[in-house]
Amino acid sequence: MKNKLKSGYQAALPSLISILVGLVIAVVILIATNPANALDGFFRMIKGPFNYGAARGLGNMLFYATPILMTGLSVAFAFKTGLFNIGASGQFMIGSLVSVYIAIKWTFIPTSVLWLVALLLGALAGALWAAVVGILKAWRNVNEVITSIMMNYIAMYLVMHVIRFGGIYNQARNETMKVASQIPTFGLDKIFVRSFIDGGILIALICAVIIYVVLEKTTFGYELKAVGLNRDAAKYAGVNEKRAIVTSMIIAGALAGLGGGLTYLAGTSKSINVAAVIASEGFDGIAVALLGMSHPFGVVFSAFFISYLKLGGQAMQVIGYVPEIVEMMIGIILYVSALSLLFRRIITKFKERRLKKVGEES
């Protein structure tokens, strides 16, 4: 048990150092932009969701963490299998579109199960969208970063077109109509009263557990990771590397697509805006995956942390910090946190030098 705790601490140390460095830079920005309120602003940022009360704040934190938890899992799963899924944004948007479309148009399905059908088909849409990237990578060795970026833009314009001409457009508000079915709260609204929380966070946590089991406890997951470590060696060992690459992208796409459905069927009346903007949730997922060291449970905690920061940033706006400053601070913390891999290498080199010195002295 003690060894496990020590191992967990050592694995989390690079991420903790990254967060600390990001916070120090954020404090410097606070002092430079608004020195009179810097101290108050810092404490508001540290308090995060607790600025709004414990139950309500924690409920909102879990609510805002849900989409980036799903895109973080998507990116992390692809990382584990040697792929960089920068297309989580496109998969997220396609999953959102399909889920919202079904929740609006398929009213012949009882509303008690419509949300579930919409979520499953949204995940399927995200999987198929990502499969294109996987197929091009597996059979033509096309770099997945390039194809993912292209697919993001195709998804953005496709979503805008379908919303406008698919019978789900609210022209007065330039967004999709309201959905006819929403994800149940499963009693969470009784615990986190007056918050936005719904059952989406439970679905996201179940997905994290499933991904952990698949990657760490199954032969299938071992084969996927073997392809990620060395594609040629895995092929020599009898693993069908092409099938593994496509399967990996399909699973990653399904996670991001499901995240889109969870976001827009959450019961907060949030609708898809018709704008030429790529969903930020996919890019936030990259930071979440890096900060969580691509481990499913690490992704869970990093998604909570980023959601915590964003709520702290909202509280800072009350005392005069403009949204741009708050977003810049959060962005710096996130992207410095993404350097956790660099800190990990530095720590590893430091340990190697210390062991070498001890060996020479003995």
| pLDDT, tens digit (0-9, with 9 covering 90-100), for 10-64 | 666 766 777 777 778 878 888 888 888 888 888 888 888 998 888 999 999 999 9
Question: Residues 277-304: what's their mean pLDDT?
Answer: 90
H-type alpha helices, 48-110: 54-80, 88-105
CB 78 within 8 A of CB 252: yes
Q: What are phi and psi of 154, to 5 degrees?
A: -60, -45
Q: Does residue 339 carry a pLDDT above 70?
A: no
Percent of the chain clearing pLDDT 70 (strictly above): 90
Q: Is it the case that residue 211 has pLDDT exceeding 70?
A: yes
Around Cβ 322, how many Cβ atoms within 10 Å? 12
Dihedral sign for Cα atoms in the order 32, 38, 42, 47: negative
- Taking only the tens place, the pLDDT of each residue in 133-143 is 999 999 998 99
- 298 contacts 292 by C-beta, under 8 angstroms: yes
Alpha-carbon distance of 25 to 58, in angstroms, equals: 26
Bridge partners of residue 176, in order along the sequence: 169
Encoded tokens for 360: 């020479």
Residue-level pLDDT at 137:
93
Predicted pLDDT of residue 37: 85
3-state percent breakdown (helix, strand, coil) of the chain, nearest 5: 80, 0, 20
Average pLDDT estimate for 202-208? 97
Give pLDDT, residue 179.
92
Q: What mean pLDDT do residues 282-307 have?
A: 89
**Which tops the pLDDT comparison, 152 or 341?**
152
> With bands split at pLDDT 50, 70 and 90, how would you rate the model's confidence at 2?
low
Does 259 have pLDDT greater than 80?
yes
Q: Which residues pair with 169 in a beta bridge?
A: 176
Residue 170 has pLDDT above 90, yes or no: yes
At 153, give phi and psi (nearest 5°). Answer: -70, -40
pLDDT of residue 278: 94
The residue-averaged pLDDT of 251-277 equals 93
pLDDT of 127 > 90? The answer is yes
* Token pair listed for 144: 């997945």
Quote the mean pLDDT of the chain: 88
What's the DSSP call for residue 179?
A: P
**Poorest-pLDDT segment among 62-76, 118-132, 237-251, 252-266:** 237-251
Contacts of 92 (CB under 8 A, 6+ apart): 67, 70, 71, 126, 256, 257, 259, 260, 263, 279, 281, 282
Distance from C-alpha of 27 to C-alpha of 38, rounded to nearest angstrom: 8
Radius of gyration, alpha carbons of the chain: 22
Query: 107-127 burial string, b = 16+ CB within 10 Å, else e?
Result: eebeeeebbbbbbbbbbbbbb
What's the rounded mean pLDDT across residues 313-327?
Answer: 77
Q: How many helices (H) and strands (E) does the chain have?
A: 15, 2
pLDDT at 290: 81
Whether the pLDDT of residue 317 is over 90: the answer is no
pLDDT at 230: 83
- Please give the Cα distance from 163 to 203 (Å, whole number): 27
Query: Where is mean pLDDT largest: 50-54, 178-182, 197-201, 292-296?
Result: 197-201
**Is residue 221 a contact partner of residue 76, using CB atoms and an 8 Å limit?**
no
- Give the integer Cα–Cα distance in Å for 54 and 131: 42
Mean pLDDT on 54-83: 94
State the pLDDT confidence band at 312, using cuts at 50, 70 and 90. confident
Q: Which residues of 172-202 are buried (b: 16+ CB within 10 A; e: fewer)?
A: eeebbbebbbbbbbeebbeebeebbbbbbbb
Among candidate residues 326, 260, 298, 305, the one with its CA nearest the CA of residue 77: 298
pLDDT given for residue 293 in this prediction: 81
The encoded tokens of residue 362 equal 């003995």
pLDDT tier, 341 (very low <50, low <70, confident <90, very high otherwise): low
Which residues are bridge partners to 170 per DSSP?
Answer: 175
Sign of CA dihedral 183, 184, 185, 190: positive
Query: Can you list the domains of the chain with their CATH numbers?
Result: 1-34+322-361 (no CATH), 53-320 (1.10.3470)
